[in-house]
A = this chain, B = another copy of it.
């Protein structure tokens, strides 16, 4: 069982595994090749190469469009109790949780070329169904969906897939967002994200796509060139509450945005993450206004820049592309 350890100085949680990495890992990253089709564990016909399937989008002909499986090398494991305890002045939790793979399409294609918005809707449905299910495990506090595309973004297999990690603590980045949203709400009695969307829609220079239910924009203080956030226009703290017609709208938009990024930046490596409200809050957060003050969203981060000592040491980011310029380029690329 891996350990979850908390650094008392920064408040960061770290998953300490027992793989004992001494040297730089080599040859781990798979880039797309036709000849992977025979060995790819995510391709149709190779279902036996993966652990037992958790969920699938089944088609009438017996095939699948999306498939969810446990990660063969999970960072957190489902069995066990959290074992929350102090080690001297340090905090420890056992590495329990879930680590699942969402195989996003049967097609072994370069990842950003998801077939269409309809397939993206099926993928988003898988995210929703898995989060809804894991929410019932009272040991778990948060479920994070994330996707790594391209070696520089940390992808290890070329077949399009996302991951879900459900964990017994609320991760720091989400906690910081929760705290800042709460502070803003206490001050203004309005949601911070709702105010940002309203200002961005008003100014228009950083928004580059808008649908019935969603907007996509380059945030004012984007960390990365062409960083993109997608958010529902109507207030909602909870991705899993999204209705089908809204999810279809999101699928179409996410597909268009990823195609736009791919076109504008020649298929860049990227990550995206889904920030929704926690499954449950620790006792001290119980009386919170979280459903009023938090707003779920997707953060897409093209990985064109390197992170060095300055960023690690300061928490600053250096972004060589003005968000207004990025929005302009993406607006053109999406037509």
Q: A interface vs B, CB < 8 Å? A: 5-25, 75, 87-90, 144, 146-148, 153-155, 163, 165, 167, 171-174, 176-177, 180-181, 184, 192-193, 195-196, 199, 203, 219-223, 225, 264-266, 268, 271-275, 299, 301, 304-310, 312-323, 325, 329
> Using Cβ atoms and an 8 Å threshold, which residues of chain B touch A193?
9
Interface of A, helix, strand, loop or mixed by DSSP: mixed
User: Which of A14, A90, A180 has most chain B Cβ within 10 Å?
Assistant: A14
| Contact between A321 and B22, CB atoms less than 8 A apart | yes
| Contact between A223 and B9, CB atoms less than 8 A apart | no
Complex-state Cα separation, A325 to B309, whole angstroms? 25
Known: A90-B220, A265-B23. A172 touches B315 (CB 8 A): yes
Complex-state Cα separation, A180 to B195, whole angstroms? 30
CB distance from A273 to the nearest CB of B (A): 3
CB distance from A22 to the nearest CB of B (A): 7
| Contact between A180 and B9, CB atoms less than 8 A apart | yes
| Contact between A317 and B15, CB atoms less than 8 A apart | yes
Residue of B5, B195, B308 touching A154 (CB-CB under 8 A): B308
User: Which of A13, A87, A196, A220 has most chain B Cβ within 10 Å?
Assistant: A220
Q: Other than the known A20-B322, A172-B316, what 7 A-B pairs have Cβ atoms closer than 8 Å?
A: A14-B318, A89-B196, A146-B310, A154-B306, A154-B308, A163-B310, A173-B314
| Contact between B89 and A14, CB atoms less than 8 A apart | no
CB distance from A158 to the nearest CB of B (A): 15
> Using Cβ atoms and an 8 Å threshold, which residues of chain B touch A144?
310, 313-314
